[in-house]
Amino acid sequence: MTTRETLLTKTRWLLVGAASTAVAVAGVSILPATAASSDDVQQQPTGNHVVGEPWPADANPPLLYQTHEVRNPRGILFVAGQTPKSPDGKTYVHQWDMPAQIDRNFDQVIEQVRKAGYQPSDITQLRYSTTDEDLFVKNFDRVAARLQKEGIKPTSAAIGVERLAQPGVLLEIEAVAVR
């Protein structure tokens, strides 16, 4: 099997596995949803943003959503992965410190979103890449606090990776915002 075939096989397994595996985040069991018809989804409109049902057993108010639709979008912003950098962008900061990296990375994502003329509430998707999944889950309450503070109702994925930009960088956050 070639490297490409192996990668595709693993990717298929991850996509299928993610749909059938229960995940625990911050001590809350997040169970996979059963297939629902569009009539079963309780949509929550916020302007042109409509979020679908939250993950079962999620926080109250919900923070993790299965869908996030934007009706009549006027723009789409893709924010590249943000790692914990100093304000001038030249130095990595908070190495080996997951809580501080969560805060710094969110600060950078929000800064990029605002610079482009979007609002944090326009963020529809977040992708977390982490070198330490257990430590990320242990600190997920910090992520949840930022989501709630900024009014972000994303679909999201947390992906374990072997390495990021350099040793000590534990987390990278990518975002998609739509208005």
pLDDT by residue (tens digit) across 80-98?
999 999 999 999 999 999 9
- Tell me how many domains the chain contains: 1
Residue at 137 is within a domain = yes
Would you place residue 53 in the very low, low, confident or very high pLDDT band (cuts 50, 70, 90)?
low
| Average pLDDT, rounded, for the chain | 75
Residue at 82 is within a domain = yes
Identify any residues that bridge with 129 across adjacent strands, giving them in sequence order: 159, 172
Residue at 25 is within a domain = no
Domain around 91: 45-178
Residues 119 and 4: their CA atoms lie apart, in Å, by: 38
Residue at 153 is within a domain = yes
Residue 111 pLDDT greater than 70, yes or no: yes
Residue 10 pLDDT greater than 90, yes or no: no
CB count, 10 Å around CB of 81?
A: 17
Residue at 20 is within a domain = no
Residues 45 and 54: their CA atoms lie apart, in Å, by: 13
Would you place residue 68 in the very low, low, confident or very high pLDDT band (cuts 50, 70, 90)?
low
Q: Which pLDDT value is given to residue 79? A: 96
Residue at 75 is within a domain = yes
Residue at 125 is within a domain = yes
Q: Which pLDDT value is given to residue 45? A: 47
Q: Which pLDDT value is given to residue 72? A: 79
72: CATH: 3.30.1330.40
Task: Give the residue-averaged pLDDT of 124-139.
Answer: 96
Residue at 35 is within a domain = no
CA distances from 166 to 8, 57, 107, 143, 163 (A): 26, 36, 20, 22, 7
Tokens of 128: 């977390």
